[in-house]
């Protein structure tokens, strides 16, 4: 079995700090997988992303040990610019990575650096504009866009290099609900249309439950649990351990079970939940709590 990303016993500590931010991370990701990473602040998730695209150790220094392979390359041995053709990173705050004066320029920027012919640049920018829903905004200043459009632009300017892997570090945490939906829908679309390998750090459980192939939970520099959403949310423990809130439809099942009702499975998405809770009411008797 071949993996597009392979990490073995990865340790990292930032220069000048005593404690390791990563304490022996092991992770294997197959091509085309959609991975959601979650964990409390300070758990090491952003550090892990920086190791994958080479920001660590090239731009952020410290002590790095262990094995990393991304598309068969070791990011420590290739420049960040080189790695960006294989793995694209989108930050939490889109303003952090917008540098030019128009949407078109922003997307074309990375391609101009590769010295591609003008015609080819135009073609690829057009393609990405359509894909990311930014068509019609080409001439606008990036700073005049809504938060959601800015984040879509940040994604577009990473995608234009056609990386095989896209990493998003809490892409919606600074956005309002409308923008969040815009970006979340875009990520799902990329996954469906491009069959990309996508890793996103995300704390919206309902969304993760619906879309992720696998969820990795990090705490204190380690991946402590991993599994399909179905496995992760089967019991409340994995998510409650790190102080997070499971999907509401799952939470309902745990609480009914705690009160003695015989809820046969834990639904993780709304359609599943509607079907299950409806069925139980129709066949009510069999599921009554133990007091009956």
Closest CA to 25 of 198, 180, 219: 219
| Inter-residue contact 91 to 53 (CB < 8 Å) | no
Q: Interface residues for other proteins in 189-228 (CB under 8 A)?
A: 203, 206
Judged by beta carbon, residue 79 or residue 144, the one nearer other proteins is: 144
Judged by beta carbon, residue 193 or residue 283, the one nearer other proteins is: 283
The CB-of-284 to other proteins minimum distance in angstroms stands at 3
Please state, in angstroms and rounded to a whole number, the distance separating the CA atoms of residues 37 and 212.
Answer: 10
Task: Pick one of 113, 242, 264, 266: the residue that binds other proteins (CB under 8 A).
Answer: 242
DSSP codes, 187-205: HHHHHHHH--EEEEE---H
Task: Pick one of 146, 185, 189, 192: the residue that binds other proteins (CB under 8 A).
Answer: 146
Token pair 């133990």: residue? 290
String marking each residue 161-180 x if it binds other proteins according to CB under 8 A: ------------xx-xxxx-
Judged by beta carbon, residue 42 or residue 264, the one nearer other proteins is: 42
Closest CA to 46 of 224, 170, 152: 170
Question: Phi/psi at 47 (nearest 5 deg)?
Answer: -55, -45
The CB-of-255 to other proteins minimum distance in angstroms stands at 4
Q: Interface residues for other proteins in 62-91 (CB under 8 A)?
A: none
Please classify residue 10 by burial: count the beta carbons closer than 10 Å to its beta carbon, then call 0-12 exposed, 13-18 middle and 19+ buried.
Answer: buried
Is 256 a binding residue for other proteins by CB under 8 A? The answer is yes
| Inter-residue contact 268 to 236 (CB < 8 Å) | no
String marking each residue 11-40 x if it binds other proteins according to CB under 8 A: -----------------------------x
- For other proteins, which stretch binds (CB under 8 A), given 27-35, 154-162, 189-197, 245-253? 245-253
Judged by beta carbon, residue 181 or residue 234, the one nearer other proteins is: 181
Please state, in angstroms and rounded to a whole number, the distance separating the CA atoms of residues 69 and 27.
Answer: 10
CA torsion angle 35 41 42 47 (round to 10): 40
Q: What residues make contact with other proteins under the rule CB under 8 A? A: 40-42, 146-147, 173-174, 176-179, 181, 203, 206, 242-245, 247-249, 251-252, 255-256, 259, 261, 270, 273-274, 277-278, 280-289, 291-292
């Amino acid at each position: 079995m071949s993996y597009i990303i392979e990490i073995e016993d990865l340790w990292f500590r930032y220069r000048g700090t005593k404690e390791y931010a990563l304490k022996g991370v092991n992770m294997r990701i197959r091509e085309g997988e959609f991975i959601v990473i979650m964990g409390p602040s300070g758990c090491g998730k952003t550090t892990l992303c920086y190791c994958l695209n080479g920001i660590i150790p090239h731009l952020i220094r410290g002590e790095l040990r262990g094995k990393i392979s991304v598309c068969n390359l070791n990011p420590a041995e290739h420049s960040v610019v080189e790695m960006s053709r294989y793995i694209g990173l989108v930050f939490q705050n889109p303003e952090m990575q917008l540098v030019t004066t128009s949407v078109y320029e922003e997307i074309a920027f990375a391609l101009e650096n590769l010295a591609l012919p003008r015609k080819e640049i135009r073609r690829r920018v057009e393609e990405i504009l359509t894909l990311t829903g930014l068509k019609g905004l080409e001439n606008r200043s990036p700073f005049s866009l809504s938060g959601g459009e800015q984040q879509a632009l940040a994604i577009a300017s990473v995608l234009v290099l056609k990386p095989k892997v896209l990493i998003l570090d809490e892409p919606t945490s600074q956005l309002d609900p409308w923008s969040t939906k815009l970006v979340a829908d875009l990520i799902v679309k990329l996954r469906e249309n491009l069959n990309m390998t996508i890793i996103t750090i995300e704390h919206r459980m309902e969304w993760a439950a619906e879309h992720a192939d696998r969820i990795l939970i990090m705490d204190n520099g380690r991946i402590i649990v991993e599994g399909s959403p179905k496995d992760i949310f089967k019991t409340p423990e994995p998510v409650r351990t790190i102080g997070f809130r499971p999907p509401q439809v799952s939470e309902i099942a745990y609480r009914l079970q705690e009160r003695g009702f015989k809820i046969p499975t834990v639904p993780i998405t709304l359609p599943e939940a509607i079907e299950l809770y409806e069925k139980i009411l129709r066949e009510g008797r069999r599921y009554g709590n133990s007091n009956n």
